[in-house]
Amino acid sequence: MNSVVKSPKDSKLSMSYLTVGFIAVFIGAICGLLQGLVRGGVIELPSFINYYQLLTAHGVLLALVFTTYFIYGLLFAGVSKTMGALSDKARSIGWIGFWVMTIGTICSTIMIILGEASVLYTFYAPLKAHPLYYIGLALVVVGSWIGGAAMLMHYSGWRKKNSGKLSPLFGYMTTATIILWIVCTIGVAISVLFQFIPWSFGWADRINVLLSRTLFWYFGHPLVYFWLLPAYIIWYVCIPKIIGGKVFSDSLARLSFVLFILFSIPVGFHHQLTESGIPEGWKFLQVVLTFMVITPSLMTAFSLFATFETTGREKGARGLFGWLKKLPYNDVRFFAPFMGMLFFIPGGAGGIVNASHQMNTVIHNTLWVVGHFHITVGTPVVLTFFGVTYWLVPYLTGRKLTPALNRAGMIQTILWSVGMFFMSTAMHILGLFGAPRRTAYSTYQDNPTALEWFHGFFAHYTTVALGGTILFIAAMMMVYLFFHLAFFAPKAENDIEATEFPIGEVAEHAYTTPRILENWKVWIGIVVVLILIAYTIPVTDMITHAPAGSPPIRTW
Amino acid sequence: MHFHRYEKYWLIFGLCTLVVFLTIVGVNAFSGGHQPPTGMMTLDPTKVDQTPPFDQPGLKKVDDNTYEANLIAMAFGYNPSKIEVPVGAKVIFNVTSKDVVHSFTIPGTNVNMMITPGHVNTSEFSFDKPGSYLVLCNEYCGSGHHMMQMTIEVK
């Protein structure tokens, strides 16, 4: 079996992360279904469940838990594949990270189930949850630092052993992702450790609300890039191999990742544009920095389609768009991420609206934002992760993705896409009409404005419920297929049958990669400078000119 | 570092669009006055009822056609829960919170702002059409969040 699975011990670590991730999908998707049905006026919840409790569980389990666990499972597998098996020490650290995260996840989930933490995954002060909710979340972050340290150790070990050589692209991108994650989580860790935990225990009477929100969003925007970068790793490194092509350019791929680190962090104010206490000039500076992220996004789009076109032409495609016909649409390993890419086009465009200084006022905190979230993280990232699951799990467990399982995966992808199309379109349009997000079923005492949200086809809460139901079916199929691939799919009997971990090679015509891209001190230095420029003065002001803080309040 | 010729065109086009776009947004904000709501006044969130102008919440006439609406957001409503405004009047909303974070949002208008405790947020709007306007909270504030509303009667 060892010839099929490179390092069984590393595979076990990856599978453990993935398994917790898919258990989170199972529970989170049930919550999502119930929310959609309540909101659409289809069902009413029994008295022992609160809508906002479901909403908290949905956000925490899907946006925080599933993503982080999946990403760690994938990245551990990828660094083990491209840079060799982990040392025993690095693997043990990876396990410690796993258990710390898991204890934290269980702790927070129990508090949500007990109804002690209906504060949503953004836990805005001065809503006060049980201290164990915050401690649980802190453990998730600390556990992810420990696991991340294991991957960084592995990377630096590889570089010591191979001095002078260019690191594998997968390993480089993993390092960039972990660096981004550590730099951004420092903000939320400071807030949770020094603000929320002492205050929720009653050791501090009051909390600086604006500071806590600012520290949260310092973390909250790069958080979305922490989800996105692993999907980009797949797009840059694995997809070319799956479609039978080559990586378009190694250096541009690395450059785009560096730019994502630089321009995803000093931008949190664009989530606080309609908030008091932050001067307009500072808001605008961060709006400008936010838009800089368009550069690496355009580079990524170019690179992807260049790979598609080059590969299509090598396979004999003619004409301007003939290469589009040569892509393997019936291979779920390609089809799922490809559908995700398509959703990312309106997703990215919507993001430009959201970050646009004054245009944000129109959609701020409306259902539009929820729609945006679901066609960015909820589709490009999630469908890429699902597409990965179809080959990563059989690769790790020494099994096969059979044609029947591939077909099931295709159906699952189509259901997810159709469900998301209905749900997200309805959410975007309802949001433009002013429908609020994070809100249970309400007609606002039959107010005519609110009743309009139950008319029309797309501008209708029931369409949200319909899309949500289709998504739920797709999610349950995915959870089933994950466990099927992990435990029941046929075993690969030899190397030829074994499921591959697709790693693309760099195209021959590509140029050599400049060494500065691997000099992390330079890039971390620049990002620190950018963060200091964007945040020092406004944050100092928030602390020195703070109004009296807020005492803890429980309103649920 | 080598960039493919077409990639250069693509990035230059993208960056030019970006510059034009940010210039429009910036000029609109800083010389057109279209800024997002950014109140800079602060107060003690536990003493809202004693702090002017919130000790007497409601509508106040400033001049001929301008009014100031000093309102308090709280779980789960606004004080006062209804105001009457003449058609065509410009209303400056000053809103603060007595407890948790809320929003002050009038669907169908550009009034939509976060209300954080300890701060006063400000937005203005001219009501040119008569009717009854719904105000709602679009930031989660507790178990009755979806009930939180008030009305503005424009006559």
Q: Where are the beta strands (DSSP E) in A464-523?
A: none
B131: contact with A, CB 8 A cutoff: no
Query: Is the confidence at residue A1, as pLDDT, over 60?
Result: no
Contacts of B20 in chain A (CB under 8 A): none
Residue B105 near chain A (CB below 8 Å): yes
Chain B residues with CB-CB distance to A127 below 8 A: 100-101, 141-142
Residue A43 touches partner B, C-beta closer than 8 Å: no
Instruction: With CB atoms and an 8 Å threshold, state whether A279 touches B139.
Output: no
Distance from CA of A40 to the nearest CA of B (A): 14
- Cα–Cα distances in angstroms (integers) from residue A257 to residues A70, A83, A177, B15, in the given order: 20, 19, 8, 18
Is a pLDDT exceeding 60 seen at residue A4? no
The residue of chain B with its CA nearest to that of A277 is B40
Residues of A in contact with B147 (CB under 8 A): 442
Average pLDDT over residues A63-76: 97
| Rounded distance between C-alpha atoms, residue A481 and residue A476, angstroms | 9
Lowest-pLDDT range of A7-16, A77-86, A126-135, A502-511: A502-511
The model's confidence at residue A5, banded by pLDDT at 50, 70 and 90, is very low
ipTM of the complex model: 0.95
Binary contact (A358, B113; C-beta < 8 A): no
Instruction: Report helix, strand or coil for B7.
Output: helix
> What distance in Å separates residue B64's CA from the closest CA in chain A?
28
Residue A543 sits at the chain B interface (C-beta within 8 Å): no
Is residue A2 scored above 60 in pLDDT? no
Chain A residues near residue B137 by CB distance under 8 angstroms: 436
What's the average model confidence in pLDDT over A290-310?
92
Q: What is the 3-state secondary structure (H, E, C) of A289-350?
A: HHHHCHHHHHHHHHHHHHHHHHHHHHCCCCCCCHHHHHCCCCCHHHHHHHHHHHHHHHHHHH
Interface of B with A in 79-98 (CB under 8 A): none
From B1, B46, B149, residue closest to A548, measured CB to CB? B46
Residue B117 contacts A where some CB pair is shorter than 8 Å: yes
Whether A439 sits inside 8 A of B140 (CB atoms) is yes
Residue with tokens 């201290």: A131
Residues of chain B with pLDDT under 70: none
User: Does the distance separating the beta carbons of B141 and A126 come in below 8 Å?
Assistant: no
Place of tokens 């040119």: B128
**Chain A residues whose beta carbon lies within 8 Å of the beta carbon of residue B103:** 274, 364-365, 436
**Which domains does chain A show, CATH number per domain?**
8-167 (1.20.120)
* Residues B128/B103, Cβ–Cβ less than 8 Å: no
Q: Residue A248's closest chain B neighbor by CA? A: B4
In the numeric block, the tokens 């980009």 are attached to: A232
Say whether A276 and B38 touch across the interface (CB within 8 A).
yes
Would you call A434 an interface residue with chain B, using a CB distance cutoff of 8 Å? yes
What is the sign of the dihedral through the CA atoms of A483, A489, A495 and A497? negative
Pairwise CA distance, residues A82 & A26, whole Å: 31
The mean pLDDT of A422-446, rounded to a whole number, is 95
Query: Residue with structure tokens 């927070």?
Result: A108
Smallest CA–CA distance, residue B65 to chain A, in Å, is 25
Catalytic residue numbers of A, as ranges: 221, 225, 372-374, 437-438
Task: Report pLDDT for A162.
Answer: 93
Picking from A276, A287, A444, the nearest residue to B120 by CB comes out as A276
Q: Structure tokens of B90?
A: 């410009």
pLDDT value at A83 more than 60: yes
What chain A residue is nearest to B34 in terms of C-alpha separation? A358
CB B82, CB A536: distance < 8 Å:
no
In the predicted structure, residue A479 carries a pLDDT above the cut 80: yes
Residues of B in contact with A276 (CB under 8 A): 37-41, 113-116, 119-122
Q: Which helix (H) or strand (E) covers residue A258, if one does? A: helix A250-264
Rounded to whole angstroms, the Cα distance separating A201 from A548 reads 19
Q: Which of A113, A137, A273 is nearest to A196 (CA)?
A: A137
User: A340-387 pLDDT, tens per residue?
Assistant: 999 999 999 999 999 999 999 999 999 999 999 999 999 999 999 999
On the question of pLDDT at A156 being above 80, the answer is yes
Read off the pLDDT of each residue in A479-507 and give the average, rounded to a whole number: 93
pLDDT at B53: 94
- Write the CA distances from A99 to A92, A106, A219, integer angstroms: 11, 10, 23
Token couple for A244: 């039978």
pLDDT bracket for residue A510 (50, 70, 90) = low
Chain B neighbors of A125, CB-CB under 8 A: 101
- Higher-confidence residue of A164 and A99: namely A99
How does pLDDT run across A99-129, given as a tens digit for each residue? 999 999 999 999 999 999 999 999 999 999 9
Contact B114 A553 (CB under 8 A): no
3-state secondary structure of A551: coil
Chain centroid to CA A516: 28
Q: Would you say A71 and A226 are in contact if contact means Cβ atoms under 8 Å apart?
A: yes
Nearest CA in chain A to B104: A274
Q: Do A291 and B18 touch (CB under 8 A)?
A: yes
* pLDDT value at residue A146: 98
Task: Tell me the average pLDDT across A135-159.
Answer: 97
pLDDT value, residue A3: 38
